[in-house]
């Protein structure tokens, strides 16, 4: 019984082993077929490549010819005198601005202008009733006449006292009294003359005239009203020359001087250019703006400008400086670096050489840049077609007979 069990177990193990061997054989056969199938495209591609390599023609050398040269425009670098400028903005103000007031009170009899009128220097603005001032002047004149009469009498008495005192007829005290009366009469003359001058002055103040030519920004008096002494009646501005105050920093203030001219543009007058000049330069920095104040005057004899208009000033700073300028369109910028193509003559023609440069912008000159390094005076650079160029490309200058003649 036991022997039969062992025989059956052994038979099962043999059968299992044979089944495992058959499965392994099938897997190996499958892998071999897959390898052959996957390798067929690679073998095919390799074979095609070998056939093309054997049948392709021999490569020909690339020859640069003048006909293949890229036409472009060029520019020769020169040293040019260039001026530094600065621009500022501000508001126009009147050259003179005063507040008009009545130095003497009274009823207004006449008004010679109205608000916003232009007036000339010395033109009547207001005439105030002069009656009381005229009466005061008459009294002053009368007092002056009495004083003059008293002085003549005192002089006559003094002469008689001196004559009598010389003959020992009059006493010394009488002479002293006559001399004292003469001195009092002279003092009275000076006092009455001062009263007369004051009365005339007050009478003249009954007429209010324009102290200078300008326009009345405000003017309130009306005929018939009574104005008080010291009352404000209007504002007068001089506009024959207008003023503009701008602020400069410490570097700019040292580059200007009094009398320097400036170009002024007015927003309200587009397309027009006016000339101004520096009349005053501040000697201390403004604590609020941290700028040095500079005052300019603009001629307005034609009357085209008004106080309150916005003005823009272009001011030259210092003397012109010699610089090497390059057109902005001739510069290529790659990853923050600047390059230009320098045109150089060779045996085959003109060649564009890519060169790294450094430049900086010029205020108020958007078309040009100042060369800092990388280029020299006299060199030629490409200004068109620069984005089609590569280093060493053959080019044909279109606008420079001088450069074209370097190969002849």
**Residue extents of the structural domains in the chain:** 70-83+322-407, 130-205, 239-318
What does the pLDDT read at residue 124? Answer: 95
- pTM of the model as a whole: 0.55
CA–CA separation, 274 vs 263, rounded Å?
6
Per DSSP, the three-state class of 408 is coil
What does the pLDDT read at residue 22? Answer: 59
| CATH class of the structural domain 130-205 | mainly alpha
- pLDDT tens for 278-291 read 999 999 999 999 99
What does the pLDDT read at residue 150? Answer: 87
% of the chain beyond a pLDDT of 70: 80
For residues 189 and 151, is the Cβ–Cβ distance under 8 A? Answer: yes
Task: Give the chain's mean pLDDT.
Answer: 83
Q: What is the residue whose two structure tokens read 């080019």?
A: 395
Higher pLDDT, 173 or 116: 116
CA–CA separation, 392 vs 61, rounded Å?
17
Higher pLDDT, 328 or 400: 328
Q: Place 85 in a pLDDT band, splitting at 50, 70 and 90.
A: confident
What does the pLDDT read at residue 182? Answer: 86
CA distances 72 to 64, 106, 331, 381, 394, Å, are 17, 86, 15, 10, 11
Does residue 209 carry a pLDDT above 90? yes
**386, two tokens:** 């620069």
Q: Place 63 in a pLDDT band, splitting at 50, 70 and 90.
A: very low
For residues 256 and 281, is the Cβ–Cβ distance under 8 A? Answer: yes
- pLDDT tens for 355-371 read 999 999 887 788 999 99
CA–CA separation, 217 vs 306, rounded Å?
11
| CATH class of the structural domain 70-83+322-407 | mainly beta
CA–CA separation, 159 vs 156, rounded Å?
5
For residues 85 and 364, is the Cβ–Cβ distance under 8 A? Answer: yes
Q: Which of 171-180, 299-308, 386-395 has the lowest mean pLDDT?
A: 171-180
**In what helix (H) or strand (E) does residue 340 lie, and over which residues does it extend?**
strand 337-346
For residues 219 and 113, is the Cβ–Cβ distance under 8 A? Answer: yes
What does the pLDDT read at residue 34? Answer: 44
CATH number belonging to domain 239-318: 2.40.30.170
CA–CA separation, 172 vs 155, rounded Å?
17
Mean pLDDT, rounded, for 121-132: 94
CA distances 303 to 88, 200, 298, 300, 306, Å, are 23, 37, 11, 5, 8
CA–CA separation, 241 vs 263, rounded Å?
15
% of the chain beyond a pLDDT of 90: 56
- pLDDT tens for 2-32 read 444 444 444 555 445 554 555 555 555 554 4
Q: Place 248 in a pLDDT band, splitting at 50, 70 and 90.
A: very high
Does residue 43 carry a pLDDT above 70? no
Beta bridge partners of 232: 101
DSSP assignment of 253-296 equals HTT--TT-EEEEEETTSTT-EEEEEEEEE-SS--TTT-SEEEEE
Q: Report which of 211, 316, 209, 208 is spatially closest to residue 261, judged by C-alpha positions.
A: 316
**89, two tokens:** 């903005």
Q: What is the residue whose two structure tokens read 């009128």?
A: 117
For residues 388 and 78, is the Cβ–Cβ distance under 8 A? Answer: no
The β-bridge relationship of strands 118-119 and 214-219 is: antiparallel
What does the pLDDT read at residue 82? Answer: 81
Q: Which of 34-38, 307-311, 368-372 has the lowest mean pLDDT?
A: 34-38
**In what helix (H) or strand (E) does residue 332 lie, and over which residues does it extend?**
strand 332-334
- pLDDT tens for 259-274 read 999 999 999 999 999 9
What does the pLDDT read at residue 302? Answer: 87
Beta bridge partners of 364: none
CA–CA separation, 186 vs 188, rounded Å?
5
Mean pLDDT, rounded, for 179-193: 88
CA dihedral of 204, 207, 208, 212, whole degrees rounded to 10: -70
Region class of 127: left (phi > 0), else alpha (psi between -120 and 50), else beta: beta
Q: Place 121 in a pLDDT band, splitting at 50, 70 and 90.
A: very high
């Amino acid at each position: 019984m036991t022997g039969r069990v062992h025989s059956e177990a052994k038979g099962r193990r043999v059968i299992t082993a044979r089944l495992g061997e058959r499965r392994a054989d099938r897997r190996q056969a499958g892998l071999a077929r897959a390898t052959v199938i996957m390798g067929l495209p690679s073998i095919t591609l390799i074979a095609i490549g070998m056939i093309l390599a054997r049948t392709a023609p021999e490569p020909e050398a690339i020859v640069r010819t003048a006909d293949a040269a890229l036409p472009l425009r060029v520019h020769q670098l020169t040293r040019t005198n260039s001026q530094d400028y600065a621009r500022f903005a501000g508001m126009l103000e009147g050259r003179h601005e005063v507040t008009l007031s009545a130095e003497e009170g009274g009823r207004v009899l006449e008004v010679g202008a109205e608000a916003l009128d232009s007036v000339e220097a010395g033109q009547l603005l207001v005439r105030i009733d002069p009656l009381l001032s005229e009466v005061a002047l008459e009294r002053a004149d009368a007092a002056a006449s009495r004083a003059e009469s008293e002085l003549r009498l005192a002089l006559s008495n003094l002469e008689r006292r001196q004559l009598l005192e010389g003959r020992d007829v009059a006493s010394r005290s009488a002479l002293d009294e006559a001399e004292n009366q003469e001195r009092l009469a002279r003092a009275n003359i000076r006092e009455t003359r001062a009263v007369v001058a004051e009365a005339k002055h007050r009478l003249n103040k009954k007429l209010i005239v324009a102290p200078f030519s300008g326009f009345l920004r405000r003017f309130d008096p009306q005929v018939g009203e009574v104005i008080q002494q010291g009352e404000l009646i209007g504002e007068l501005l001089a506009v024959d020359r207008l003023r503009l105050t701008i602020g400069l920093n410490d570097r700019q203030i040292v580059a200007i001087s009094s009398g320097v001219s400036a170009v002024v543009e007015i927003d309200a007058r587009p397309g027009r250019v006016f000339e101004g000049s520096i009349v005053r330069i501040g000697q201390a920095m403004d604590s609020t703006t941290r700028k040095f104040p500079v005052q300019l005057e603009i001629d307005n004899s034609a009357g085209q400008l008004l106080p309150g208009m916005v003005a823009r000033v272009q001011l030259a700073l210092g003397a012109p400086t010699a610089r090497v300028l390059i057109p902005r369109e001739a510069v290529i910028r790659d990853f923050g670096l600047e390059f230009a193509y320098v045109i150089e003559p060779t045996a085959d023609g003109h060649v564009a050489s890519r060169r790294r440069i450094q430049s900086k912008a010029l205020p108020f000159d958007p078309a040009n840049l100042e060369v800092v390094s990388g280029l020299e005076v006299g060199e030629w650079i490409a200004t068109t077609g620069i984005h089609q160029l590569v280093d060493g490309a053959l080019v044909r200058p279109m606008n420079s007979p001088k450069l074209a003649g370097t190969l002849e």
